[in-house]
Each structure stands twice: as C-alpha cells, then as structure tokens.
Structure 1
Amino acid sequence: MNDDYEPLSARIPADIEQPDKIMYGLTARQLAILGTTALVTVTVFTAVAPILPVPIVAGLCFPLVAAGCSMALGRRDGMGLDRFALAALDHLRRRRTLVAAPEGVSAPPAWCRVRGTLPGPLRFPVRAIRQDGVMDLDGGATAALVRAGTISLGLRTATEQAALVGFFGRWLNSLESPAQIVVQARPVDLSELTDRVAEAAADLPHPALRQAAEGHAAYLDELGASRNLLTREVLIILRDQPMPATPGAGRRGRGRAREAGAAIVARRAIDTVRTLTGFGLSAQALDADECVRVLSEALSPNDTRPVPSADLNQPITVHDTTEEPQP
C-alpha cells in the first residue's frame, strides 16, 4: 500500500454505551415505562368510568399518559427524563453542606438546639496516595494516573495512520482491567513565562539577542491579553480491583491484598507508558505530588494548591515567612 490509497476508516457510534433497541426502536427501559403507564391508565379508567362521565375520565387519564410518554421518550442534557428525575430527587435528598468527616457527623447533644440541618460527611473516593503515585480507593481498589501527549493524525500518511490506529487498538486489547481516558482543557496564564523571558533577556550577550527576547516577551504578553488560551491534558486512569480476601483473613489479609493490587496497577502504569512511547506519544506515570495537583485542580480549579508532601526520609520543618522589622 502506498500513500495514494484512501486511509482506513470505520464507523463507530458516538454513544458506545447506547442500550439495545428491543421493539419499535425502543429500549427495554422505555418499554417498561410505557407498559406501566398503560397499566395504570387502564386501571384508573376501569375504576372511574362507571362513576364519572367519559370527558372527565379522559381528563384524569390524560396527565398520566402524558407523564409516562414524557418519561419514556423525553431527554434532557443527553439523559432520559426518567433518569433525570431520579437524579434530581437524589440531589434534593442529599445535604448541601459536606465536611471531611470519615467517621461520620456526630449528632449534637440534647441540650443544643441546632437551626437547620447538620452537614453531611464528604465521601471522597481516594483514601490515600502513595509515594509512587498509586492511589488507594474505597473498597480496597487501587488506581494510577498516566499523563499522555497527543498526536496529529491529519499530518500523517495513510500508512502511518493505519499503523498508529493498529498500535492503539493493540494497547486497548491488552488491557486486563478497567481504564478511563480523560481529556481536560483549562485556561493558560502566560504571565510567568513572560516574566522569565524578560528577565533572561537582560543576561544575553548580544544586543540583537536581547532585542529578540524582549520582542518575544512582548508578543507573549499581547497573546495572553488578546486571546483565551487553553491547554489540553490527557490522563489515563488505570484501576485494579483485588480479589476479596478469604474469610477470617482479617486486617492483615486485606492489607496484603491492597499491597498486591498497588504493585499490579503500578506495573500496568509502567507498561502503558512503555507502550504509548513506542508509537510516538509522550507519556509519564504521575507521582504523589502530581496526583495531588491533578485532584486539587479537578475539585477546585481556582484555589491555591496544597503544600507538596514531604519525603519520608526528610524532617518536616516550618518556614516563617514574616519579615523582622528593621531598626
């Protein structure tokens, strides 16, 4: 095959998790809702028809039919109205204020009168982050993060595109556990880069180099002020769910199972980095500090980042940033 051939293509539906159509283009969930609506409507009609006139009975049955058809056929934000209504009820039932209390929020004493409702416990799925970047999740599961770069298929020939797609397909087929690919886009601030370029320009030996560096700093400053710049980050989340411990193993058995799961998911992260690097993608397994940064930006993008975790072999010190008054 040479480069004049048309590249290989395959049709993939946008919603790969779309449920199967059972009858008349409807899913099993939609058929169940419509069947329940028909059953309730017939029951109400047979119970009320001998007592009330037909127009009034039809007026009573019409809201039931309209609500059932809307729940079965309507959609909101790409979600069926039945699932949307259940999610709305679950949201209204949950508490609005959450606090970090893994042991639960204790009830106030009997003599304390509380206005409103108590906050609920914040259930964060990540329990701890190891030094190698493996995250301990609830239920004994472990996960690792891999940052991957991107590649432009449009600039490649048909043969190269087919080879890259084949490499990516082989990597997907080699996965033995659930994996998730997350593409994040966030705004970029070029002020720090501009300041570094402007400061380095003064140390350049030749006036032409200094002028070029100052011009580049001015260009970066103008670019950041006139455009909404975005950076894209691709993350691959690899998970491992260990086998349940044998009865009677106790806490030590669960700890050994968690350690084995952490070793497995760390090896899978290394294998993923090696595989992606093999066909031209930059990839890196994230350590503990990078995992903290990613989780912090996901939860609160505009807040300050926590202090990086200290090394196990280094003492923890406190630096006083206040300046002493000058005499």
Structure 2
Amino acid sequence: MNDSEPLIVRIPADVARPDKIAYGFTARQLAILAVTGALASSVYYVFRQVVPVVVIAAVVLPLVALGAALALGRRDGLTLDRFTLAAMLFLRSPTKVVAAPDGVTPPPRWCRLRGKLPAPLCLPVRAVRSDGALELADGGTVALVETSTLSFHLRTADEQASLVGAFGRWLNSLDATVQVLVRARPVDLAGLVEALEQRAEHLPHPALVRAAAEHANFLGQLNASQDLLARQVLVVIRDPHPPRGRRSTARDASAAVVLRQAVETQRALAALGVTAAVLNADAANRVLTECLDPDGWHPAGIARPDELISGLEA
C-alpha cells in the first residue's frame, strides 16, 4: 500500500452488533419470528374447524404484527424487545429510594404506615478514595483518566499512520478491563459573560473595553440561542483481579494497581498528542455527581460526603 494513501476505515457505530445468521436476521430475530409463527400456526390449526377464518385472522394478524415489531423495531438505539423489557423493569422498580447502605429501617409496630417504605439506593460506586480511586459495590476498584481529543482527518497520511500505530501499541499493552466513555454535558456561559463584563471596566484602553463588551455580548447571544454541549472523554481502568473481602490492605493494593495503570495510560496517550490526566478525589467526585445529575448545578468546590466543612462563605 502506498504510504501517502490516507488511512480511512469505516467502523460501525454499534461495534457490538450481533451477527446475522440467515436471511439478514440475527439469532434473536429468528427466534422471535419462529415463536410468533409457531403461535400463529397453533391458533389456526386448533380453531380452524370451529371458528371462521375471518375471526382467526383477526386474532392472528395482531399477534404476527407484534412479533414482527419486536423482532425488527428499534427505539433509542435498542431493539424493541430489549426496550420493552427495560420499560417493564423500570415500571416495576421503586420510584422512591434513599441512601441506606444497611437497608431501610422499618417503623415501630405502634406506627401505622401508609404506603410503602422507600427502597435502598444501590449505586455501583461504594466510596471515593482520597487517592482518586473508586471502590465499587461489587468489590472492584476503578481509576479514571480524563483525556482530550485530537483532529485525525487534518493530519497527513504519515501522521495518521503514526497515530494509529501508537494507539495500537497502547491497546496491545492493556492487561486490564478498560472502558472509553464519551459523554456530552451542557455548558452555561453565563458565568463567563459576567466575568468578562466585570473585567472589561478595568482594561487600560477604550478599544479593549469595546472588544470585551462585544465578545461578552456575542457569548450571551450564543448562550441564549443555542444548547451548548461540551464533550468529555474518560478512560475507565478497572483492576482485573479485584480484592476479595473487605480488608483495607487488599483494597489499598488494588487501588495502587489501577492508579499505576492509569499513569501508564496517561504516558501512552501523551505519545499521541492527547492531553490526559488521572482524576484525583475531587475531580472523580465531580464526574460522578455530574453523571447522576447532568442538568443540575454543581460548583467545582463541592465537598465530598465524608469531608468536614470547616467554614462557610457568605
């Protein structure tokens, strides 16, 4: 292959797409269609002697349509059968949950309870360590690495080949479970506009004052007219051998392993020109807070649940 030829390979967005077995259908789709066809055939052969064909068709056709919709339909990136199952599980799940790691304490016998008790809130993360590692509820340990992005299409063919080779070497060096999470979060420029307006008054030249005011006006119009999003890329590194039990030494050793692998990932991605940083405890806590409440307001200096607040500002 010519070295100057650009490295362009089309990769489907759904990399976990199941294989198609026959007639362009997957095994799941064939199973749903086969069960639907068997039920429709059973209804026809059982009732064809005693029920008119029109009545049988009125019963069978909606059944066939439902089976075809479950097999072929999609909603929000999910197949319709999985979406329906998720909707049923969501409707059956409790709507009121509270943070109760040891379970919800029932009221005394003399207290009359109206309704149901709230269910305990089960989160995948049990604690955020002071070194930045996350202790999971199932006993695992995770470290987070926040990375920047780079422009691949603006590079030459040789630069693209170098980037692909460096990225491949990082992938081949992995000996742990790694997840790359790309999330978009809303951005509010109101604070930046206010800061520009306050600092514009102290600029030394009137032209700078006008430029700052025009820039603040532009940012204000942009913030009011568009839904601004910021893209964040996180590399989640998990210990392949999670500690067993609740001993502090095992948890410390597991946290040291994932943090060392996070530092190695940071160095490997730096060879690609990607700015990476291992998240400390405050940054990891902020990321988890934003994931649980993406539309809420979360100040940067929020305290952790186990952190003592020594003073308050008016």
- TM bin, normalised by shorter chain, reads 0.7 to 0.9
Secondary structure of 1:67's match? Answer: helix
Residue 66 of structure 2: aligned partner = 67
Is this contact kept in 1: 2:132–2:281, CA < 8 A?
yes
Q: Which of residues 256, 272, 281 in structure 2 aligns to 1:279?
A: 272
* CA separation of 1:99 and 1:212: change in aligned 2, threshold 3 A: farther
CA deviation after TM superposition for structure 1 residue 276, in Å: 1.0
Is this contact kept in 2: 1:185–1:232, CA < 8 A?
yes
Taking the aligned partners of 1:311 and 1:112, their CA distance within structure 2 comes to 32
Secondary structure of 2:153's match? Answer: helix
Structure 1 counterpart of 2:118, one-letter code = P
Matched, 1:89 2:83: no
CA deviation after TM superposition for structure 1 residue 74, in Å: 1.6
Matched, 1:221 2:220: no
- TM-score, structure 1 normalization: 0.83
* CA separation of 1:39 and 1:188: change in aligned 2, threshold 3 A: closer
Residue 296 of structure 1: aligned partner = 289
Aligned ranges 1:122-137 → 2 under 5 Å = 122-137=121-136
Residue 235 of structure 2: aligned partner = 236
Unaligned runs of at least 5 residues, structure 1? 323-327
Q: Which of residues 290, 310, 314 in structure 2 aligns to 1:318?
A: 310
Aligned residues: 308
Unaligned runs of at least 5 residues, structure 2? none
Residue 98 of structure 1: aligned partner = 97
CA deviation after TM superposition for structure 1 residue 144, in Å: 0.8
After TM superposition, the structure 1 stretch with the greater mean CA deviation from structure 2, 29-38 or 51-60, is 51-60
- TM-score, structure 2 normalization: 0.86
Secondary structure of 1:219's match? Answer: helix
Is this contact kept in 2: 1:141–1:240, CA < 8 A?
yes
* CA separation of 1:277 and 1:83: change in aligned 2, threshold 3 A: same
Taking the aligned partners of 1:292 and 1:214, their CA distance within structure 2 comes to 38
User: Matched residues, percent identical?
Assistant: 49
Taking the aligned partners of 2:284 and 2:58, their CA distance within structure 1 comes to 59
Is this contact kept in 2: 1:45–1:57, CA < 8 A?
yes
Is this contact kept in 1: 2:197–2:216, CA < 8 A?
no
Taking the aligned partners of 1:212 and 1:185, their CA distance within structure 2 comes to 36
Report the structure number with the largest CA radius of gyration. 1
Aligned ranges 1:17-56 → 2 under 5 Å = 17-56=16-55
* CA separation of 1:202 and 1:226: change in aligned 2, threshold 3 A: closer
Q: Which of residues 260, 265, 274 in structure 2 aligns to 1:267?
A: 260
CA deviation after TM superposition for structure 1 residue 243, in Å: 5.1
* CA separation of 1:201 and 1:164: change in aligned 2, threshold 3 A: same
After TM superposition, the structure 1 stretch with the greater mean CA deviation from structure 2, 58-67 or 286-295, is 58-67
1:190-244 CA-partner distances (Å, limit 9, x unpaired): 454455556666777xx4xx44543443233112211144433221111124257
CA deviation after TM superposition for structure 1 residue 54, in Å: 2.3
